[in-house]
Structure 1
Protein backbone atom coordinates (compact mmCIF):
# COMPACT_ATOMS: atom_id res chain seq x y z
CA UNK A 1 0.00 0.00 0.00
CA UNK A 2 1.04 3.58 -0.61
CA UNK A 3 1.67 5.62 2.53
CA UNK A 4 1.30 9.28 3.45
CA UNK A 5 2.95 10.73 6.54
CA UNK A 6 1.91 14.20 7.72
CA UNK A 7 4.04 15.87 10.40
CA UNK A 8 3.49 19.45 11.45
CA UNK A 9 1.57 21.81 13.66
CA UNK A 10 -1.38 24.11 13.93
CA UNK A 11 0.91 27.08 14.36
CA UNK A 12 -1.25 30.13 15.05
CA UNK A 13 -4.45 32.10 14.51
CA UNK A 14 -4.70 35.73 13.49
CA UNK A 15 -7.23 38.42 12.61
CA UNK A 16 -9.92 37.05 14.93
CA UNK A 17 -11.99 39.72 16.70
CA UNK A 18 -11.07 38.50 20.21
CA UNK A 19 -8.33 36.56 22.02
CA UNK A 20 -8.60 33.44 24.24
CA UNK A 21 -8.99 31.03 21.34
CA UNK A 22 -8.78 27.27 20.99
CA UNK A 23 -9.19 25.01 17.98
CA UNK A 24 -10.81 21.59 17.56
CA UNK A 25 -9.61 19.63 14.52
CA UNK A 26 -10.69 16.43 12.82
CA UNK A 27 -9.02 14.49 9.99
CA UNK A 28 -11.44 13.31 7.27
CA UNK A 29 -10.54 10.86 4.50
CA UNK A 30 -12.23 8.52 2.01
CA UNK A 31 -12.89 4.78 2.12
CA UNK A 32 -9.60 3.95 0.34
CA UNK A 33 -7.60 5.36 3.26
CA UNK A 34 -6.67 3.80 6.59
CA UNK A 35 -5.19 5.48 9.67
CA UNK A 36 -1.98 3.61 10.55
CA UNK A 37 -0.89 5.75 13.49
CA UNK A 38 -1.58 9.13 15.03
CA UNK A 39 -4.78 10.76 16.17
CA UNK A 40 -7.72 11.50 13.91
CA UNK A 41 -8.92 14.42 16.03
CA UNK A 42 -7.72 16.74 18.74
CA UNK A 43 -8.00 20.09 20.45
CA UNK A 44 -5.46 22.81 21.10
CA UNK A 45 -5.03 24.61 24.38
CA UNK A 46 -6.59 28.04 25.01
CA UNK A 47 -4.16 30.84 24.22
CA UNK A 48 -4.40 34.58 24.55
CA UNK A 49 -1.89 37.30 23.82
CA UNK A 50 -2.17 40.72 25.38
CA UNK A 51 0.47 42.32 23.17
CA UNK A 52 -0.01 40.73 19.74
CA UNK A 53 -2.90 40.30 17.34
CA UNK A 54 -2.39 36.56 16.92
CA UNK A 55 -2.52 33.44 19.10
CA UNK A 56 0.40 31.04 18.83
CA UNK A 57 -0.68 27.45 19.48
CA UNK A 58 2.23 25.36 18.08
CA UNK A 59 -0.01 22.28 18.48
CA UNK A 60 1.63 19.15 16.97
CA UNK A 61 0.06 16.93 14.32
CA UNK A 62 1.60 13.55 13.43
CA UNK A 63 -0.50 11.33 11.16
CA UNK A 64 0.45 8.20 9.20
CA UNK A 65 -2.03 6.98 6.56
CA UNK A 66 -2.07 4.09 4.10
CA UNK A 67 -4.12 4.04 0.90
CA UNK A 68 -5.20 1.86 -2.01
CA UNK A 69 -6.15 4.88 -4.16
CA UNK A 70 -6.07 8.64 -4.07
CA UNK A 71 -9.86 9.14 -4.03
CA UNK A 72 -10.96 10.77 -0.79
CA UNK A 73 -7.70 12.68 -0.27
CA UNK A 74 -7.34 13.68 3.44
CA UNK A 75 -8.67 16.99 4.75
CA UNK A 76 -8.40 18.63 8.14
CA UNK A 77 -11.64 20.21 9.35
CA UNK A 78 -11.39 22.81 12.12
CA UNK A 79 -13.63 24.70 14.50
CA UNK A 80 -12.24 27.74 16.31
CA UNK A 81 -13.80 28.79 19.62
CA UNK A 82 -13.46 31.83 21.88
CA UNK A 83 -13.45 31.31 25.64
CA UNK A 84 -15.08 34.27 27.39
CA UNK A 85 -14.36 35.58 30.89
CA UNK A 86 -17.13 33.35 32.33
CA UNK A 87 -15.56 30.21 30.87
CA UNK A 88 -18.16 29.78 28.12
CA UNK A 89 -16.99 28.76 24.65
CA UNK A 90 -18.41 30.52 21.60
CA UNK A 91 -17.97 29.41 18.00
CA UNK A 92 -15.67 31.77 16.11
CA UNK A 93 -15.23 29.91 12.86
CA UNK A 94 -15.37 26.81 10.68
CA UNK A 95 -12.87 25.88 8.01
CA UNK A 96 -10.93 23.08 6.36
CA UNK A 97 -7.73 22.46 4.45
CA UNK A 98 -6.63 19.74 2.06
CA UNK A 99 -3.40 17.99 2.96
CA UNK A 100 -0.93 19.20 0.28
CA UNK A 101 -0.49 16.80 -2.65
CA UNK A 102 3.24 17.41 -3.04
CA UNK A 103 6.01 16.22 -0.79
CA UNK A 104 7.93 18.73 1.32
CA UNK A 105 7.33 21.54 3.76
CA UNK A 106 4.17 23.64 3.37
CA UNK A 107 2.57 26.64 5.04
CA UNK A 108 -1.19 26.34 4.60
CA UNK A 109 -3.67 29.03 5.63
CA UNK A 110 -7.22 28.11 6.55
CA UNK A 111 -9.67 30.98 6.14
CA UNK A 112 -12.52 30.55 8.60
CA UNK A 113 -16.13 31.69 8.58
CA UNK A 114 -19.23 31.38 10.73
CA UNK A 115 -22.99 31.59 10.10
CA UNK A 116 -24.21 35.17 10.02
CA UNK A 117 -27.59 34.62 11.66
CA UNK A 118 -30.75 36.69 11.74
CA UNK A 119 -30.99 40.19 13.21
CA UNK A 120 -32.40 38.74 16.44
CA UNK A 121 -29.59 36.16 16.68
CA UNK A 122 -26.99 38.90 16.10
CA UNK A 123 -28.54 41.04 18.84
CA UNK A 124 -28.50 38.14 21.33
CA UNK A 125 -24.94 37.28 20.27
CA UNK A 126 -23.75 40.83 20.92
CA UNK A 127 -25.14 40.99 24.46
CA UNK A 128 -25.04 37.36 25.64
CA UNK A 129 -22.43 35.72 23.42
CA UNK A 130 -22.83 32.49 21.55
CA UNK A 131 -24.36 32.69 18.12
CA UNK A 132 -25.70 30.40 15.44
CA UNK A 133 -23.93 27.10 14.76
CA UNK A 134 -24.40 24.48 12.07
CA UNK A 135 -26.61 21.56 13.03
CA UNK A 136 -24.62 19.27 10.70
CA UNK A 137 -20.97 20.43 10.50
CA UNK A 138 -20.21 17.83 7.81
CA UNK A 139 -21.68 20.39 5.35
CA UNK A 140 -18.36 22.22 5.59
CA UNK A 141 -16.40 19.42 3.95
CA UNK A 142 -19.01 18.01 1.58
CA UNK A 143 -20.02 21.35 0.09
CA UNK A 144 -23.64 20.24 -0.41
CA UNK A 145 -25.98 23.19 0.19
CA UNK A 146 -23.07 25.25 1.54
CA UNK A 147 -23.81 27.97 -1.02
CA UNK A 148 -27.17 28.56 0.69
CA UNK A 149 -25.53 29.66 3.94
CA UNK A 150 -25.28 33.30 4.94
CA UNK A 151 -21.83 33.68 6.51
CA UNK A 152 -19.29 36.20 7.72
CA UNK A 153 -15.52 35.91 7.40
CA UNK A 154 -13.56 35.40 10.60
CA UNK A 155 -9.82 34.89 11.08
CA UNK A 156 -7.06 32.75 9.61
CA UNK A 157 -5.56 29.59 11.12
CA UNK A 158 -2.09 28.72 9.87
CA UNK A 159 -0.68 25.19 9.55
CA UNK A 160 2.99 24.24 9.11
CA UNK A 161 2.92 20.81 7.44
CA UNK A 162 5.60 18.41 6.21
CA UNK A 163 4.31 15.77 3.78
CA UNK A 164 6.16 12.51 3.09
CA UNK A 165 5.10 9.98 0.42
CA UNK A 166 6.12 6.33 0.41
CA UNK A 167 5.48 3.75 -2.34
CA UNK A 168 3.18 6.04 -4.36
CA UNK A 169 5.29 5.51 -7.51
CA UNK A 170 4.87 1.71 -7.17
CA UNK A 171 1.14 2.23 -7.59
CA UNK A 172 1.47 4.59 -10.55
CA UNK A 173 0.99 7.86 -8.69
CA UNK A 174 3.49 10.56 -9.63
CA UNK A 175 4.21 13.50 -7.39
Structure 2
Protein backbone atom coordinates (compact mmCIF):
# COMPACT_ATOMS: atom_id res chain seq x y z
CA UNK A 1 0.00 0.00 0.00
CA UNK A 2 1.31 3.44 -0.87
CA UNK A 3 0.32 6.73 0.71
CA UNK A 4 0.68 10.17 -0.82
CA UNK A 5 0.33 13.61 0.70
CA UNK A 6 0.02 16.60 -1.59
CA UNK A 7 0.44 20.11 -0.24
CA UNK A 8 0.03 22.46 -3.18
CA UNK A 9 -0.66 26.08 -3.91
CA UNK A 10 -2.18 27.64 -7.01
CA UNK A 11 -0.14 30.82 -6.76
CA UNK A 12 -1.16 33.10 -9.61
CA UNK A 13 -2.17 33.24 -13.24
CA UNK A 14 -1.39 35.41 -16.23
CA UNK A 15 -4.38 36.02 -18.50
CA UNK A 16 -4.43 39.10 -20.70
CA UNK A 17 -7.84 40.57 -21.37
CA UNK A 18 -9.56 38.92 -18.39
CA UNK A 19 -10.29 40.18 -14.91
CA UNK A 20 -12.20 38.92 -11.86
CA UNK A 21 -10.67 35.46 -12.14
CA UNK A 22 -11.11 32.43 -9.90
CA UNK A 23 -9.88 28.83 -9.96
CA UNK A 24 -11.56 25.48 -9.38
CA UNK A 25 -9.49 22.39 -8.81
CA UNK A 26 -10.46 18.74 -8.95
CA UNK A 27 -8.26 15.75 -8.23
CA UNK A 28 -8.49 12.95 -10.76
CA UNK A 29 -7.14 9.51 -9.89
CA UNK A 30 -7.60 5.80 -10.52
CA UNK A 31 -10.12 3.46 -8.93
CA UNK A 32 -7.68 2.10 -6.34
CA UNK A 33 -7.01 5.55 -4.86
CA UNK A 34 -8.90 6.84 -1.82
CA UNK A 35 -8.88 10.29 -0.23
CA UNK A 36 -7.90 10.03 3.44
CA UNK A 37 -7.80 13.71 4.30
CA UNK A 38 -8.68 16.93 2.51
CA UNK A 39 -11.02 17.87 -0.28
CA UNK A 40 -11.14 16.32 -3.73
CA UNK A 41 -12.46 19.59 -5.23
CA UNK A 42 -12.17 23.24 -4.26
CA UNK A 43 -12.89 26.80 -5.31
CA UNK A 44 -10.65 29.85 -4.79
CA UNK A 45 -11.54 33.44 -4.08
CA UNK A 46 -11.92 35.91 -6.93
CA UNK A 47 -8.81 37.89 -7.86
CA UNK A 48 -8.29 40.96 -10.01
CA UNK A 49 -5.26 41.35 -12.21
CA UNK A 50 -2.61 43.53 -10.60
CA UNK A 51 -0.49 46.14 -12.32
CA UNK A 52 0.63 46.05 -15.91
CA UNK A 53 1.84 42.44 -15.66
CA UNK A 54 -1.69 41.14 -15.51
CA UNK A 55 -1.18 38.61 -12.73
CA UNK A 56 -4.20 37.43 -10.78
CA UNK A 57 -2.90 36.27 -7.39
CA UNK A 58 -4.84 33.49 -5.63
CA UNK A 59 -2.34 31.77 -3.31
CA UNK A 60 -4.95 29.01 -3.12
CA UNK A 61 -3.87 26.18 -0.77
CA UNK A 62 -4.56 22.50 -1.43
CA UNK A 63 -3.85 19.82 1.17
CA UNK A 64 -4.85 16.24 0.37
CA UNK A 65 -3.75 12.82 1.60
CA UNK A 66 -4.45 9.75 -0.52
CA UNK A 67 -3.74 6.03 -0.35
CA UNK A 68 -3.70 3.26 -2.91
CA UNK A 69 -2.79 -0.38 -3.33
CA UNK A 70 -0.95 0.35 -6.60
CA UNK A 71 0.43 3.30 -8.54
CA UNK A 72 -1.96 2.86 -11.49
CA UNK A 73 -4.08 5.98 -11.92
CA UNK A 74 -1.53 8.27 -10.27
CA UNK A 75 -3.30 11.51 -9.25
CA UNK A 76 -3.58 14.53 -11.51
CA UNK A 77 -4.70 18.01 -10.55
CA UNK A 78 -7.29 19.42 -12.98
CA UNK A 79 -7.57 23.22 -12.94
CA UNK A 80 -10.37 25.34 -14.38
CA UNK A 81 -9.97 29.12 -14.51
CA UNK A 82 -13.12 31.22 -14.76
CA UNK A 83 -13.82 34.94 -15.18
CA UNK A 84 -16.92 36.91 -14.32
CA UNK A 85 -17.99 39.12 -17.22
CA UNK A 86 -19.64 42.57 -17.05
CA UNK A 87 -23.10 40.98 -16.80
CA UNK A 88 -22.10 38.77 -13.85
CA UNK A 89 -21.89 35.53 -15.83
CA UNK A 90 -19.19 32.93 -15.21
CA UNK A 91 -17.21 32.16 -18.33
CA UNK A 92 -14.44 29.60 -18.62
CA UNK A 93 -11.08 31.13 -19.42
CA UNK A 94 -8.98 27.99 -19.51
CA UNK A 95 -8.39 24.42 -18.39
CA UNK A 96 -5.14 22.75 -17.39
CA UNK A 97 -3.93 19.49 -15.92
CA UNK A 98 -0.90 18.79 -13.73
CA UNK A 99 0.47 15.35 -12.98
CA UNK A 100 1.28 15.13 -9.28
CA UNK A 101 5.04 14.51 -9.37
CA UNK A 102 5.90 10.91 -8.46
CA UNK A 103 9.07 12.01 -6.66
CA UNK A 104 8.90 13.43 -3.13
CA UNK A 105 9.91 17.00 -2.46
CA UNK A 106 9.01 20.50 -3.60
CA UNK A 107 8.14 21.15 -7.24
CA UNK A 108 7.07 24.36 -8.99
CA UNK A 109 5.84 24.62 -12.54
CA UNK A 110 4.01 26.76 -15.05
CA UNK A 111 0.86 25.15 -16.39
CA UNK A 112 -0.47 26.45 -19.70
CA UNK A 113 -4.24 26.67 -20.01
CA UNK A 114 -6.45 26.13 -23.01
CA UNK A 115 -10.15 26.50 -23.78
CA UNK A 116 -12.36 24.71 -26.30
CA UNK A 117 -13.01 26.51 -29.58
CA UNK A 118 -16.40 26.73 -31.25
CA UNK A 119 -16.50 24.43 -34.26
CA UNK A 120 -18.03 27.01 -36.64
CA UNK A 121 -18.23 30.76 -37.13
CA UNK A 122 -21.98 30.66 -36.47
CA UNK A 123 -21.42 29.02 -33.08
CA UNK A 124 -18.73 31.61 -32.25
CA UNK A 125 -21.11 34.48 -33.02
CA UNK A 126 -23.95 32.82 -31.10
CA UNK A 127 -21.65 32.29 -28.11
CA UNK A 128 -20.50 35.90 -28.18
CA UNK A 129 -24.09 37.23 -28.29
CA UNK A 130 -25.49 34.85 -25.66
CA UNK A 131 -22.36 34.75 -23.51
CA UNK A 132 -22.40 30.94 -23.71
CA UNK A 133 -18.89 29.98 -24.74
CA UNK A 134 -17.87 26.35 -25.28
CA UNK A 135 -16.80 24.54 -22.13
CA UNK A 136 -16.31 20.98 -20.97
CA UNK A 137 -19.21 19.30 -19.18
CA UNK A 138 -16.79 17.48 -16.87
CA UNK A 139 -13.81 19.59 -15.70
CA UNK A 140 -11.88 16.37 -14.96
CA UNK A 141 -11.86 15.64 -18.71
CA UNK A 142 -8.59 17.57 -19.02
CA UNK A 143 -6.92 15.10 -16.64
CA UNK A 144 -7.88 12.06 -18.72
CA UNK A 145 -6.67 11.04 -22.16
CA UNK A 146 -9.84 9.48 -23.57
CA UNK A 147 -12.40 11.75 -25.20
CA UNK A 148 -10.08 14.68 -25.94
CA UNK A 149 -8.51 13.66 -29.23
CA UNK A 150 -10.98 15.53 -31.47
CA UNK A 151 -11.43 18.63 -29.33
CA UNK A 152 -10.28 21.90 -30.88
CA UNK A 153 -8.69 24.23 -28.34
CA UNK A 154 -6.86 27.54 -28.10
CA UNK A 155 -4.22 28.62 -25.62
CA UNK A 156 -5.41 31.20 -23.10
CA UNK A 157 -2.80 31.86 -20.41
CA UNK A 158 -0.75 30.20 -17.73
CA UNK A 159 -0.92 29.37 -14.03
CA UNK A 160 1.94 29.02 -11.54
CA UNK A 161 1.52 25.97 -9.29
CA UNK A 162 3.79 24.82 -6.47
CA UNK A 163 3.49 21.24 -5.22
CA UNK A 164 5.11 19.49 -2.31
CA UNK A 165 4.80 15.71 -2.44
CA UNK A 166 5.34 13.32 0.44
CA UNK A 167 5.17 9.55 -0.08
CA UNK A 168 5.24 6.58 2.22
- TM-score, L = length of structure 1: 0.87
- Distance in 1 of aligned mates of 2:65 and 2:137: 30
Equivalent in the alignment of 1:75 = 76
Does residue 124 of structure 1 match 2:119?
A: no
CA 1:10–1:69: 2 relative to 1, 3 Å: same
2:49 alignment partner, SS class? coil
In 2: Cα distance, 1:16 partner to 1:4 partner: 35
User: What is aligned with 1:35?
Assistant: 35
Q: Which of structure 1's runs of 4+ aligned residues deviate more than 4 A?
A: none
Larger radius of gyration: 1
CA contact (8 A) 1:91 1:130 kept: no
- When structure 1 is superposed on structure 2, of 95-104 and 43-52 the one drifting more is 43-52
* Count of aligned residue pairs for this structure pair: 166
Contact 2:78-2:140 within 8 A present in 1 as well: no
1:25: which partner in 2?
25
Deviates more, 1:7-16 or 1:135-144: 135-144
Which blocks of at least 5 consecutive residues in structure 1 are unaligned? 167-175
1:143 alignment counterpart: 145
- In the alignment, which residue of structure 2 is the partner of 1:110? 111
| Structure-2 separation of matches of 1:71 and 1:5 | 16
Instruction: Give 3-state SS (helix, strand or coil) of 2:63's partner.
Output: strand
TM-score by length of 2: 0.90
Cα deviation digits, residues 80-128 of structure 1 (max 9, x gap) = 1111122211011122111011111101222111111021232234455
Instruction: State the alpha-carbon separation in 2 of the partners of residues 114 and 149 from structure 1.
Output: 10
Return the alpha-carbon distance in structure 2 between the equivalents of residues 64 and 50 of structure 1.
33
Q: Is the 8 A contact 2:26 2:139 kept in 1?
A: no
- Deviation at 1:152? 0.8
Task: Tell me the equivalent position of 2:91.
Answer: 90
- Partners of 1:163 and 1:140 lie apart in 2 by 21
Shift of the alpha carbon at 1:151?
A: 1.1
Residue ranges of structure 2 left out of the alignment (5+ in a row): none
In structure 1, distance between residues paired with 2:141 and 2:38 = 25
Instruction: Tell me the distance in 1 between the aligned counterparts of 2:130 and 2:147.
Output: 29
Question: Which string of whole-angstrom CA distances, capped at 9 and with x for unpartnered residues, describes residues 108-153 of structure 1?
Answer: 2221111110212322344553311224444322222312111111
